[in-house]
Amino acid sequence: MRHQYIVQRAAAIIIQAVYRGYVVRSHLQKQHAAATKIQATYKGYKQQQLYQKKLWSARFIQVWYRATRKAHMERRQFLCQKRAVVTIQSMYRGFKVRENVRLLNCSATRVQAWYKMCRARIHFVNQRKSCTVIQQWYRAQMVGRSERRHFFIQKGAAMTIQSWYRGVIWRHELKRIHCAATVIQSYYRGHLKRQCYLKQRQAAIAIQRWWRGCTLTNNVKCEFMHKKQTVVRIQSYVRTVLAKRRYLKIRKSVLKVQSLVRGHLVRKQVERKTQAARVIQRKWRATRDAQQERHTFVMKRQSAVMIQSFVRMWQTRQRYRIMKEGFIRLQAATRMAAQRQRYIPTHTFKQNGLFQ
């Protein structure tokens, strides 16, 4: 009886052990399937979060790049319009200066013509007066000769002595008249020379006034161009400083936003990791309290899960570091292109301003 009881007891123990092993294996398979499903869901959630982060970063970079490109295009268009306006202004001012010079030349030509006409008229009047004086003197001489001839015919011999005496007197008078005429001619010639000198002096003064006006116009034009170039250089420098300040302000704002977003993402990641750790701890404690026989298996499983989590965490960190380096390089290349686009028009404009 005892032997039969022992055999039955051993068989019951074996059956119980087999059943319990089946129940434990079934429970472990269910837990393994549940854990696999949870891990898959969590990994999918992590991948979706990572995809959302990458999508948000790519959209942010696209928006920033498009805004920067639009700003560069608008600035380039503004610079082209500014150069066109400056060219039109320079052409209009050159046209106005040429019109003023043409008017001054016409005025100077009219003044010269009027001056030459006055000189010719004064010369003609002087010649006419000289001819009138000569004619009067010649006519007086002719009348005197005819009267003297008639007087000599009537008086004859009676006037011989008188004629001699009068001849002496007349020679003295003629000499005196000749001296007076010589003095008058010298004064008259001096007057003509002075008039000619005054005319030449007035012409020289008019020419000097015109030349000084041209010189003053050229000096004023050169001074205006110098002041204009100085003002353009100062404007370019001030605009460069203002653009640099706006760029630094935008960069500071972007860095601040990036730091806030990264801090928020890190906090969310820490919270998720904390919740996951709490879930794992709760599950581990429930499993430890459930059955003592699964202690070794659970410990090994937890060790394997921990190793997998560390390996995956290391892989995730590696992928994040690679992506971060790529984004940093992309940002550096974009900023370098933006700085180059800003620098090339400014440098070209400065060179053109210096060459001008």
Answer for the pair 196, 123: CB distance below 8 angstroms, yes or no: no
Helices 160-290 and 295-355, axial angle in degrees (round to 10): 180
Q: Sign (positive/negative) of CA torsion 94, 97, 98, 99?
A: positive
Question: What percentage of the chain exceeds 70 in pLDDT?
Answer: 92
C-alpha–C-alpha distance, residues 247 and 241, integer Å: 10
Helical spans, DSSP H, in the chain: 2-155, 160-290, 295-355
309 pLDDT higher than 60: yes
291 pLDDT higher than 50: yes
30 pLDDT higher than 80: yes
Residue 145 CB-density burial (10 A; 0-12 exposed, 13-18 middle, 19+ buried): exposed
301 pLDDT higher than 80: no
Confidence of residue 355 (pLDDT cuts 50, 70, 90): very low
Share the mean pLDDT of the chain. 80
- Can you give the pLDDT at residue 356? 44
Domains identified in the chain, total number? 1
List, in order, residues 6 or more apart from 159 with CB less than 8 Å away: 151, 152
Structure token digits, residue 279: 């879930």
Helices 160-290 and 2-155, axial angle in degrees (round to 10): 180
C-alpha–C-alpha distance, residues 305 and 39, integer Å: 10
In degrees, rounded to 5, the angle at the alpha carbon of residue 38 between the alpha carbons of residues 35 and 40 is 110
Q: What is the pLDDT of residues 245-264, one digit of tens each?
A: 888 888 888 888 888 888 78
347 pLDDT higher than 70: no
Confidence of residue 354 (pLDDT cuts 50, 70, 90): very low
**Structural domain harbouring 254:** 2-355
- Can you give the pLDDT at residue 338? 78
Average pLDDT over residues 306-310: 78
| Least confident residue range of 101-115, 231-245, 334-348 | 334-348
Average pLDDT over residues 174-185: 82
350 pLDDT higher than 70: no
Residue 32 vs residues 26, 273, 298: alpha-carbon distances, Å? 10, 21, 11
- Can you give the pLDDT at residue 86? 85
Confidence of residue 294 (pLDDT cuts 50, 70, 90): low
279 pLDDT higher than 60: yes
286 pLDDT higher than 80: no
C-alpha–C-alpha distance, residues 153 and 142, integer Å: 17
133 pLDDT higher than 50: yes
Q: What is the pLDDT of residues 76-125, one digit of tens each?
A: 888 888 888 888 888 888 888 888 888 888 888 888 888 888 888 888 88
Q: What is the pLDDT of residues 34-77, one digit of tens each?
A: 888 888 888 888 888 888 888 888 888 888 888 888 888 888 88
Average pLDDT over residues 115-144: 83
191 pLDDT higher than 50: yes
323 pLDDT higher than 70: yes
In degrees, rounded to 5, the angle at the alpha carbon of residue 207 between the alpha carbons of residues 203 and 210 is 140
